Amino acid sequence: MRALIANIGRTICVVAETDTAPAFNWHCSLLSLPLAFKTTLGAIPAGVPYLSADRSRVARWREVLGPAGFKIGISWQGSKLPIDVGRSFPVELFRSLCGLPGIRLISLQKNAGVEQLDSLPPDLLIERLGAEFDTGSNAFLDTAAIMESLDLVITSDTSIAHLAGALGRPTWVALKHIPDWRWLLGRQDSPWYPSHTLFRQERRGDWEGVFRQIRDALAARLAAV
């Protein structure tokens, strides 16, 4: 992650796990910082973007993607750990969007879940980004660059949602009925990511209902373009 977050701020020194730490006065775990800063819901620092993509990668992927269509980056599967229970959904749910004019579905999926692309129904067209997409040790550098050329990201509750938020990219997040605490409850926006819209299950396991909401919202957005 170091290459991605190294430019987060001129006064911040990013030290990798294998580096020797410089002299320091205090240590605080990352997720304890809100307590240390006495952060309230209304005081969450939500200025975005606070990350940026490498400009040469942005130019290269912009050329690969081309200008045609309304480009939507998609992700559907998190890592297969206990935290993933209920938050991921089958890629086939994107089939309901395929009848909308001019859209292109572009897979941002890596690792778990990518195998679902091998058995898509004929009317679900999803573009793959090739073997060179985010290879090597610097994960997310290509993903960040690609997001800069997308019109929208639609994703389950994965790291893709948080990267898109940090980049300030327009993103729709599909959430299970009782999601991770960071998404709170009963709201369509995120106090951390002003560019996000949240689509929540009204009933446990009802992903079809979520995608009906997403399809209606996408149809309205396309009509307004």
Answer yes or no: is pLDDT of 82 > 90.
Answer: no
55-224: CATH number? 3.40.50.2000
What's the N-to-C CA distance of the chain in angstroms? 35
Question: Model confidence over 112-125: pLDDT tens digits?
Answer: 999 999 999 999 99
pLDDT of the residue at 11: 82
| Domain ranges for the chain | 55-224
Q: What is the DSSP letter of 196?
A: E
Q: 98-152, pLDDT tens digit by residue?
A: 999 999 999 999 989 999 999 999 999 999 999 889 887 777 999 999 999 999 9
For the chain, give the mean pLDDT: 93
152-180 pLDDT, tens per residue?
A: 999 999 999 999 999 999 999 999 999 99
Residues 89, 76: Cα–Cα separation, whole Å:
6
Percent of the chain predicted with pLDDT > 70: 100
How far apart CA 41 and CA 43 sit, in angstroms, is 6
